[in-house]
Every structure is written in structure tokens, then in C-alpha cells.
Amino acid sequence: MFYCEDCSKKNKWPASLAKSYGQCECCGKTAICNDVPSCQLSETPAMDKVMKQIVEDEAGSDEDLNAALDEVVVIVAKVQ
Ligand SMILES: [Zn+2]
């Protein structure tokens, strides 16, 4: 995950020792960004969104929940 200082503070993500200039993956701003492996972050905005979706879907059928879980697997595969 590559993110700027603003996003680091906003999402309470750790600042990394390795920093380089580029486009933030979170807000798209071009700035000095922290380069941290996704596995070191507790959650990404995408995960947050999917987790909320799952909670909302809880009252629905098992099929809906399974579809939401499939989506999580795809997102986790993308961010890692
Ligand atoms: Zn940013």
C-alpha cells in the first residue's frame, strides 16, 4: 500500500521508514508517500466498505452473505 501523510493520519496507518514520491493509492494525490505492505495494515478502506456491506447483508439470505465473502477474497487478493 502506497499512501501519503494525510491518509496515514486519517486512517491511522503507520508511517514507514521507506518513503518515495508518487501517487497515493488512497486519495490519488501525488506526494511523498509511505510504502507499507498491505499485510501490515489492519484494514484498508476497501475492506472497511466490504465489512460494512456484510453487516448490512446479515439480515439477508446466506447466498447474499456468501457473495459478499467472495468479494472480500477478491479484494484481499488485490491488495496483497
Ligand atoms: Zn493520500
Residue-by-residue pLDDT tens, the chain, 80 positions: 999 999 999 999 988 888 999 999 999 999 999 999 888 776 556 666 666 776 777 666 677 767 777 877 776 777 76
In the reported structure, the alpha carbon of residue 37 is separated from the centroid of ligand 1 by a whole-number distance in angstroms of 16
**34 touches 19 (CB < 8 A):** yes
pLDDT of residue 73: 76
Per-residue pLDDT at 26: 94
pLDDT at position 33, please?
96
- Name the burial class of residue 26, with classes exposed (0-12), middle (13-18) and buried (19+) by CB atoms within 10 angstroms of its CB: buried
Distance from Cα 69 to the centre of ligand 1, integer Å: 27
Distance CA 52, CA 71 (A): 12
Cα-to-centroid distance, 4 and ligand 1 (Å): 4
In angstroms, what is the span from residue 74 Cα to ligand 1's centroid? 23
Distance 23 CA to ligand 1 centre (A): 8
